[in-house]
Amino acid sequence: MSSAAPSAPRQGPPEPHELLWRWLNSLPIAIAVMLALALLSALGTLVPQVHLLSGEDAANPAAMYISRFGETRYHIIDALGLNRIYFTWYFFALLSWLSVSAVVCNITRLRNTLRLWRTPPVVRREQAFNGKRGAAELSGVDPAKLHALKAELAKDRFRVREADDGGARCVYADRGFGKKWGLVLLHFSLIVLLAGAIFGRIFGVVGQIRLADGEKQSLTLDRKHGKRAFIYPLLDRLAPLTFALSQDRFRIDYDKSIVEPESLKDVDPELREYYRYFVRDFVSTLTASRYGAVKSQEVKVNHPLVLNKLVIYQSGYQQIGYVNVTDGAESREYPVVPEQWLVLTPEGPALADQMMMSGNAMSSSAFLMEQVKAGDLYQRGKKVGYIGPLTIVHITDIATERTTSQLLSADQFFETTLAGKTMRVSMAKRVDNYSDFAYKRDPAIPLLYFGWISLIIGVALSLYLPFTQVWIRLSPSDAGGQTARMLVQGPGGADAAASHYARWHDILRTP
Amino acid sequence: MPSTHVASGLSVYDWAMFAYFGAYLVYALHIFFLRKRAVGVLATVLLVAAFAMHTTFLVERALFYYAQYQGFVLPATNMFEAISYFAWLAVLGYLVVELFVVKTRTFAIFALLLPVAGMAYSAKAMSTDPRELMPSLKSYWLVFHITAMFMSYAAFALAFSFALMYILRARGLRGMERIDPRFNLKFLDETANKLIVFGFPLLTLGIFLGAVWADSAWGRYWGWDPKETWALITWLMYLAYLHLRLHWSMSAYRSSLLNVIGFIFVLVTFQGVNLLDSLFKLGSIHAYAEGGGVFVLAVLGLAVLIPLVMVFLPEPRAGDDALKVEGTPK
């Protein structure tokens, strides 16, 4: 942002468009907008944002907000848009102001930079040296030595210009002009970034899809999803995009920690094994096709599949194991849902969450099972076997409130007797794996990357490159001979200027 | 197997922490009581020894990850390791500045405070065990993103220490005159500014690399995740600082106060987001979701509020008068 708006001397109050231009070019206003954006962004990290919710909270956000903040406060939060602050009109308005301000500022900056580049201010009047901090004066100068000084400046990578001003010789030199271009690039990149973000938001498509092992699905991109209605006319002209997806294979690979964590030292050795297995990777062998273009590859985190600008990412997985509960002759299969209880009562088994526990009869047992683990096992990067289905079951006797834990695998079972009935719980061999994908088609990505790279180059040039300007004016002095008035503006301030003057003094002074 | 941790006794990390602490005490002794050169050299030697032990720990941890995952993993994959890696970079930065740039030890007590405190906090409050790696962390972007971010944080930490020295000196705090007389207000202000100028492009680069990584791992380059948002807020804060400094000629004293606020924002980005996440259940998907507590959050809040209020208070008379006197070249 430039520090001062261009203002022509005029009578009366400024016209509205002049005022607007001045405001858009104003550094204090730009900083105030930046700080307001920062403040609103910070506020957005204190109130959970709808787009970041997951699971049940995402399915019913209002219930989550009411349970956390109460109904009145939720209505206030919702009315002010604090739960979706980054997508509110006022956040967008501030961003828009900043971007238009960047455009206006950049026009001014570009104009000034081009002017300085094409027609540098070579002539500097005597009065402009007088009283200027860091300016120096040198008498008894040999005018014939000026070319030596110019050569010295050129040797120091200065761009040198010379002009006559009446009877005086004026030399202007500058070095590090890249800083000026860097500042132009920096502001330009902010515009590109914002334009890219808006373009991507309008024409981009994001979504999620879940595929079971071996499943095939057709994916039609819904360009209007999550967008405002006024954008629809722009999107209606675009041809629909449909892709065929085939999940050829999905596997969840496990790794075994080569070191036993300190936290497991008090855990039963049998259970310890279970805890040492962790998911190493979840990998889909996915085939995507559209109009004859086919691509098949392993998709895993950090390794997306790209086809016709559609990028498909491995975003998650779900592994569901089952337990068999045999009650006499009848055997039923129940999914193992972590954090959900399997409650056995004399009437039969039932799934329940923790809240319902208190309502159960005293003559019952409850089992809390951990995530089932099943898949290829790796160690030190090599496949060493297969684990699972495996889980840990925490058995709570509700009457005594005692809990014991045991490992449950496909060839293990345990029994419990309730009201004279014996129930056997064993691990089923069945495991269902689901692969979650996020997909995106964002035509603005190249624009955004260009903007980011421009921003980094612009910031680096404008901050790391020093820009130095030199003015020298040689004019006849009243006492006879020539006097050189010199001014250096740039980094290092007066100290750097003084060292320049000392060198030039030796060059210019008549022997 | 590398001895990444031992079940009993002290690990190399603990030894490094004690050595850092010892070095810090010797630096303080040297700065305030014993200005003999030998004491200063002893402090530096102790610090270098601690740094070597810390480096050994990082190498051991990287070797462990190599053995486990058959690939290089930067040991900065959880909050404990992140603090450790940040402390390592900050000490490295300090050593480079002490030995090659300003060639003095007099700012050690400020510059080393955070790394030493961070090491002690991480060793005491967090599990030092290596953790399971999320698949998204197995990426070469981790090295570039984290290193760029932490190098900028280390530069901002050093800038913060110079700004703090400036403020204390400008306010005429007793005892400050014992600090190196070369550390006049002009020098402190310029050094702090240079460090911010060095760190800001790195922060920009780090955020960009994080966006590229997020795009390849999660399918979006920007998701307004609390960690990302606070990184942006920090970036905006330093952007405002640079604009005010370069175009509005903000005084050195107020710049120093903004510098302090900026660094508090760095701390919020680094640590505070985890506190916010644990308190408000924001749902950050970043890996460093550990630590927490209202007390720490309140301290961070006050740390922002106090200098923010001071920005609008009248400047101390000694501040810029002294700057003009001391800054005038002879």
If DSSP codes are grouped into helix, strand and coil, which group holds residue B299? Answer: helix
Question: In the structure encoding, which two tokens stand for residue A89, read together?
Answer: 């009109």
Instruction: Read off φ and ψ for residue A72, nearest 5 degrees.
Output: -60, -50
Same domain, A287 and A220: yes
Provide the shortest C-alpha distance from residue B329 to chain A (in Å): 6
Tokens of A131: 């009283």
Cβ B282–A52 below 8 Å, yes or no? yes
Same domain, yes or no, for A406 and A355? yes
* Domain interval for residue A286: 185-260+273-318+436-457
Flag whether residue A304 sits within 8 Å of chain B, measured between CB atoms. yes
**Contact status of B8 with chain A (Cβ, < 8 Å):** no
For residues A84 and A52, membership in a common domain is answered with yes
Whether A88 and chain B come into contact, CB under 8 Å, resolves to no
**Residues 35 to 94 of B: which have CB under 8 A from any A CB?**
64, 67-71
Interface check for A29 against chain B (CB to CB < 8 A): the answer is no
B132, B227, B234, B249, best to mutate vs chain A, most A CBs in 10 Å: B132
Does residue B291 belong to the interface with chain A, where contact is any CB pair within 8 Å?
no
Q: pTM higher than 0.90, yes or no?
A: no
Instruction: For residue range B104-158, list pLDDT tens digits in order.
Output: 787 788 788 888 888 888 777 777 777 788 888 888 888 899 999 999 998 998 8
Instruction: With CB atoms and an 8 Å threshold, state whether B1 touches A258.
Output: yes
In the predicted structure, residue B312 carries a pLDDT above the cut 70: no
DSSP E strands, A300-357: 305-307, 310-327, 330-335, 341-345, 348-352
Q: Check pLDDT > 70 for residue B2.
A: no
- B312 interfacial to chain A (CB closer than 8 Å): no
CA distance B24 to B113: 8
Cβ neighbours around B201 below 10 Å, total: 22
Same domain, A494 and A452: no
- The structural domain count of chain A equals 4
User: Is A136 among the domain residues?
Assistant: yes
Q: Please check whether residue A135 is in contact with residue A486, taking contact to mean a CB–CB distance below 8 angstroms.
A: yes
- The closest CB to that of A45, out of B5, B204, B276, belongs to B276
Residue B290, pLDDT > 70, answer: no
Contact B5 A259 (CB under 8 A): yes
Q: What is the pLDDT confidence band of residue B325, given thresholds at 50, 70 and 90?
A: very low
Residues 6+ apart with CB under 8 A from B53: B12, B13, B15, B16, B19
Chain-centre distance for alpha carbon A275:
33
Q: What is the CATH number of the domain that holds A161?
A: 3.30.310.80
Per-residue pLDDT of chain A (511 residues; tens, 9 = 90+): 444 445 555 667 778 888 888 888 888 898 889 889 988 988 888 888 888 887 778 888 888 888 888 888 889 989 999 888 988 999 989 988 988 888 888 888 899 999 999 999 888 888 888 877 778 888 877 778 888 888 888 988 899 998 888 888 899 999 999 999 999 998 889 889 888 988 988 899 988 899 998 899 999 988 888 788 888 888 888 888 899 999 999 999 999 888 777 777 788 888 888 888 889 889 999 999 998 899 999 999 889 999 988 999 998 899 999 888 887 777 888 888 777 777 777 666 777 665 444 444 445 677 778 888 999 999 888 889 998 798 888 877 766 777 788 888 888 888 877 667 777 888 888 899 999 999 999 999 999 999 999 999 999 999 889 899 999 888 887 777 788 888 888 877 777 788 888 888 778 775 5
Tokens for A403, please give them: 């809990």
Same domain, A140 and A165: yes
Looking at the structure, tell me whether residues A127 and A85 fall in a common domain: no
Six token digits for residue A180: 């000026």
CA distances from A198 to A57, A194, A239, A351, A454 (A): 28, 6, 20, 47, 18
Q: Which residues of B are less than 8 Å from A371 in CB distance?
A: none
Interface test with B, best of A259, A280, A300, A465 (most B CBs within 10 A): A259
- And the tokens for A476? 């006849």
| Contact B124/A at CB under 8 A | no
Instruction: Tell me: do A45 and A101 sit in the same domain.
Output: yes
- Shared domain for A354 and A308, answered yes or no, is no
Burial of residue A313 (CB within 10 Å: 0-12, 13-18, 19+) is: buried
Residues A491 and A409 reside in one and the same domain: no
* Tokens, residue A378: 């790796």
Q: Do A373 and A419 belong together in one domain?
A: yes
The residues facing A217 across adjacent strands are A245
Same structural domain, A411 and A440: no
A9 in a structural domain:
no
**Residue B43 to chain A, least CA–CA distance (Å):** 32
In a domain, A59, yes or no: yes
- Does residue A381 sit at the B interface (CB-CB below 8 Å)? yes
Q: Is A463 on the interface with B (CB under 8 A)?
A: yes
Beta bridge partner(s), residue A344: A349, A365
- Shared domain check, A130 and A48: no
- Give B 216-245 residues with CB within 8 A of chain A: 216-226, 229-230, 232-233, 236-237, 239-240, 242-244
A370 touches chain B (CB under 8 A): no
Domain boundaries, chain B: 8-133, 158-330
| Minimal C-alpha gap between A463 and chain B (Å) | 6
Chain B neighbors of A28, CB-CB under 8 A = 248
